[in-house]
Amino acid sequence: MRKVQTPHAPAPGGHYAQAVIFRDLIFVSGQLPIKPHTGEKVLGDIEEQAQQVIANVLEIVQAGGGDLTTVLKCTVFISDISLWGRFNAVFAAQFGEHKPARAVVPTRELHHGFLVEMDAIAAKIS
């Protein structure tokens, strides 16, 4: 098992890795809408937060040797089920024709009052 660490995604809180690689799989920890270079919390609307979360996930996937097309599964946590459709629009725009397996889990609240968090499993590019 190997850890992934990139400065192009938010630093982990100390008790977990941005991602771990096992064989040819990249397991990305849950990403929040935080700008990696400044640590600034993105507290805007769901669209702005979703774009940052997806960007963070993809930076980590790339650092692990994958890319958008090798993302196999995403788990998305949203703070309100009414945000689902708006999140879907951002997700579809970012992923285009690639459609990984996905679960969306409505929750009551997320850390720091964020609206969305996402983790992922991706494959390394052969």
CATH number at residue 80: 3.30.1330.40
pLDDT in tens, 48-105: 999 999 999 999 999 999 999 999 999 999 999 999 999 999 999 999 999 999 999 9
pLDDT in tens, 41-52: 999 999 999 999
Q: Which residues share a beta bridge with 34? A: 41
**36's tokens:** 């990696």
- Count of positions (residues) in the chain: 126
Domain containing residue 18: 2-123
Q: How many other C-beta atoms are found inside a 10 Å radius of the C-beta of residue 98?
A: 11
Number of domains in the chain: 1
**4's tokens:** 């992934």
Residue 13 pLDDT grade (very low, low, confident, very high; cuts 50, 70, 90): confident
The pLDDT of residue 126 is above 90: no
**Model pTM?**
0.95
The pLDDT of residue 37 is above 90: yes
